[in-house]
């Protein structure tokens, strides 16, 4: 049965892989973020980069540190969270050394964040149009009339059927899928060079989720933007991401460019736990990963996945594995990897 799963995994390609240009726009080096003055580490030393036009998936269970990473990149960490160490370079510029106002401007203009919960990202007392037009007025300096025209045009571009009507509507009148389109419109309004999409389809049914993913993919390719797509569902990244980073307990445990030859037992477990693809008749059982992911503050001596890993050995419980390169854009953090 397990062989059946791996055969299924091997049959699913990622997006066509293109080697990134030499100069990434974003470089993250040894990024550690914690809550409670270091008591609850959320990320424990992340290293990754994104090239222009590249779509990278960041995947893992709840609590693995994915969303904290997104908010850390944007400079929007919640109260109580802080960057303990590491560097975030935007086109070579260290964001930690950038004055706060300049950083807000830079992130607002060049990085667009698509929030997980569109309802909480939208202000219920302002119309949809006012919220989109505000970006053009205050960030791009357009007149009221021009900002309105741009907002209506953008609402049409993200697939809202009646952009004029949508402009005057309020968030509570929209479905979850329509609200997510509005949030995407706000994220891409200033043509950012990097779109960070934080579980943008979590609250949506599969059909709408597929439309939203297609929309992000189209917008990114039309505008040449890089995308960091955060999700707990590996399957969503099929045909979308050119590279996938798998996170567990605040660390990247595997980097993939294809679903063939998954090396890390956690990534293999994520595959086996996927429900059958809608519309496909797959005769297989689900194999949930046993146990629970460690809590953010939990210190584990060896490999953090050892308590749940079917292959764990004494070495795993004593010594934390390092992330070992396996080839171009391929790496794994497991003592047993080949
Ligand atoms: Fe499993 Fe050991 Fe690999 Fe950790 S290092 S994933 S416990 S085999």
Q: Report which of 245, 187, 174 is spatially closest to residue 216, judged by C-alpha positions.
A: 187
The encoded tokens of residue 136 equal: 């053009």
Ligand 1 atom, smallest distance to 309 CA: 1
Mean pLDDT to the nearest integer, 58-85: 93
Q: Is residue 8's pLDDT more than 50?
A: no
Burial zone of 60 (CB within 10 Å; 0-12 exposed, 13-18 middle, 19+ buried): buried
Q: What Cα–Cα distance (Å) separates residue 189 from each residue in 57, 110, 159, 192? A: 22, 10, 14, 8
Which of 249, 251, 265 to probe ligand 1 with, by most ligand atoms within 8 A of CB?
265
Contacts of 124 (CB under 8 A, 6+ apart): 170, 171, 172
Ligand 1 atom closest to residue 303's alpha carbon, by position in its atom list = 4
Average per-residue pLDDT for the chain: 88
Check if the beta carbon of residue 141 is closer than 8 Å to that of residue 109. Answer: no
Ligand 1 center from residue 249 Cα (angstroms): 13
For 105-147, the pLDDT digits (tens) are: 888 889 999 988 888 889 999 999 999 999 999 989 999 999 9
pLDDT-based confidence at 310, cuts 50/70/90?
very high
Nearest alpha-carbon partner for 198 in 93, 100, 105, 72: 72
Pocket test for ligand 1, best of 311, 337, 338 (most atoms within 8 A of CB): 311
Which pLDDT score is estimated for 4? 39
User: Helix 2-10 to helix 265-272 angle, to the nearest 10 degrees?
Assistant: 90
Structural domains of the chain, with CATH: 2-125+170-332 (3.40.50.300)
What is d(CA 183, CA 244) in angstroms, rounded to the nearest whole number?
24
**Confidence at residue 116, expressed as pLDDT on a 0 to 100 scale:** 82
Segment among 65-74, 189-198, 214-223 with least mean pLDDT = 214-223
Cα of 325 from ligand 1 centre, angstroms? 16
Q: For residue 252, how far is its CA from the centre of ligand 1 (angstroms)?
A: 14
Report how far ligand 1's centroid is from the alpha carbon of 175 (Å).
Answer: 43
Q: Which atom, in ligand 1's list, is nearest to the CA of 312? A: 7
Quote the CA–CA distance of 258 and 187 in Å, as a whole number: 28
Question: Closest Cα partner for 232 from 13, 63, 33?
Answer: 63
Lowest mean pLDDT among 77-91, 275-289, 301-315: 275-289
pLDDT classification of 12: cutoffs 50, 70, 90: very low
The model's confidence at residue 3, banded by pLDDT at 50, 70 and 90, is very low
Residue predicted with more confidence, 65 or 108:
65
Portion of the chain with pLDDT greater than 90, in percent: 63
Q: Which residues have C-beta atoms less than 6 Å from ligand 1?
A: 264-265, 303, 305-306, 309, 311-312, 316, 321, 334-336
The average pLDDT across 151-179 equals 93
The CA 251 to ligand 1 mean position distance, Å, reads 14
What integer pLDDT is reported at residue 315 of this predicted model?
97
Out of 309, 315, 324, give the residue to mutate to test ligand 1, the one with the largest number of ligand atoms within 8 Å of its CB: 309
Q: Taking a C-beta distance cutoff of 8 angstroms, is the pair 58, 66 a contact?
A: yes
Q: Residue 313 CA: which ligand 1 atom is closest?
A: 2
- Which ligand 1 atom minimizes the distance to the CA of 335? 5
Atom of ligand 1 nearest to the CA of 266: 6
pLDDT at 119: 80
pLDDT at 9 over 80: no
3-state secondary structure the chain: CHHHHHHHHHCCCCCCCCCCCCCCCEEEEEEEEEECCCCEEEEEEEEEEECCCCEEEEECCCCCCHHHHHHHHHCCCCCCEEEEEEEEEECCEEHHHCCHHHHHHHHHHHEEEECCCHHHHCCCCCCHHHHHHHHHHHCCCCCHHHHHHHHHHHHHHCCCCCHHHHHHCCHHHCCHHHHHHHHHHHHHCCCCCEEEEECCCCCCCHHHHHHHHHHHHHHHHHHCCEEEEEECCHHHHCCCCCEEEEEECCEEEEEECCCCCCCCHHHHHHHHCCCCCCCCCCCCCCCCCCCCCCCCCCCCCCCCCHHHCCCCCHHHHHCCCCCEEEECCEEECCCCCC
Q: Are strands 194-198 and 226-231 parallel, antiparallel or unpaired?
A: parallel
Q: Which of 3-12, 164-173, 323-332 has the lowest mean pLDDT?
A: 3-12
Mean pLDDT value across residues 160-171? 95
């Amino acid at each position: 049965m397990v062989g059946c799963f791996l055969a299924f995994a091997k049959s699913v390609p990622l997006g066509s892989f293109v080697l990134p240009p030499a100069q990434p726009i974003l470089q993250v080096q040894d990024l550690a973020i914690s809550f409670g003055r270091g008591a609850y580490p959320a990320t424990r030393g992340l290293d990754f980069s994104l090239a222009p036009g590249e779509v990278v998936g960041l995947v893992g269970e709840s609590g693995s540190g994915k969303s904290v990473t997104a908010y850390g990149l944007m400079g929007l960490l919640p109260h109580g969270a802080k960057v303990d160490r590491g560097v975030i370079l935007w086109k070579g510029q260290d964001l930690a050394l950038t004055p706060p106002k300049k950083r807000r401007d830079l992130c607002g203009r060049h990085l667009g964040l698509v929030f997980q919960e569109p309802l909480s990202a939208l202000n219920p007392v302002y119309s949809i149009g006012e919220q989109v037009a505000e970006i053009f007025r205050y960030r791009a300096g357009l007149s009221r009339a021009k900002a309105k025209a741009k907002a209506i045009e953008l609402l049409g571009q993200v697939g809202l059927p009646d952009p004029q009507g949508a402009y005057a509507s309020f968030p509570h009148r929209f479905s979850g899928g329509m609200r997510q389109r509005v949030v995407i419109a706000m994220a891409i309004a200033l043509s950012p060079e990097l779109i960070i999409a934080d579980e943008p389809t979590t609250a949506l049914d599969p059909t709408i989720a597929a439309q939203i993913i297609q929309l992000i993919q189209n917008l990114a390719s039309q505008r040449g933007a890089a995308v960091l797509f955060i999700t707990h569902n590996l399957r969503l990244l099929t045909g979308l991401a050119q590279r996938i980073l798998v996170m567990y307990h605040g660390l990247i445990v595997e980097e993939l460019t294809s679903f063939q030859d998954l090396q890390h037992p956690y990534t293999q477990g994520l595959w086996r736990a996927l429900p059958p693809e809608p519309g496909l008749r797959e005769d297989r059982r689900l194999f949930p990963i046993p146990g629970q992911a460690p809590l953010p503050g939990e210190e584990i001596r060896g490999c953090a996945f050892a308590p749940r890993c079917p292959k764990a050995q004494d070495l795993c419980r004593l010594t934390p594995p390092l992330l070992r390169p396996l080839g171009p854009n391929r790496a794994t953090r497991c003592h047993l990897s080949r």
